[in-house]
Chain A
Amino acid sequence: MNFLSGTHVPRRTFLRGMGATVALPFLDAMVPAGRMAGGDAVSSDPTRLVAIELVHGAAGCNEWGATQNLWDPAEVGRSFDLTPSALSPLEPWRDYLTIVSNTDVRMAEAFEAHEIGGDHFRSSAVFLTQSHPKQTRGSDVYVGTSLDQIHAQRFGQDTPIPSMQLCIEPVDQSGGCAYGYSCVYTDTISWASPTEPLPMIRDPRTVFDLLFGAGGTPEARARRRRTNSSILDWITGEVAHLKRELGANDTERLERYLDNVREIERRIQGVEARNESGDVRALPGAPAGVPDSFEEHMRLMFDLQALAFASDMTRVFSFKTGRDASGRVYPASGTDRPFHPASHHGGREEAILDFHKINRYHVSMLPYFLERLQSLDEGGTDLLEKTLIVFGSPMADGNLHNHRRCPFVLLGRGNGALEGNVHLKAPDGTPMANVMLTLLHNLGVDDLDSFGDSTGEFSLTVPSSMTSAG
Chain B
Amino acid sequence: MHDDDHEDDHDEHNPVDEHSALHLELHRAVDELGKYAIEIEFDPKGGIPKEKMKQFIDDLMRTVTMNCMNNGADLVGHVKSFLLVDDGNIMSSIVDEHKPTKIKDAVESDVIYKSKFVLHVIVHGIWDDKIRNLTLEVLPGVCKKWNMPYNIIADYFDVEKSIAHHT
Our verdict on whether A and B bind, yes or no, reads no
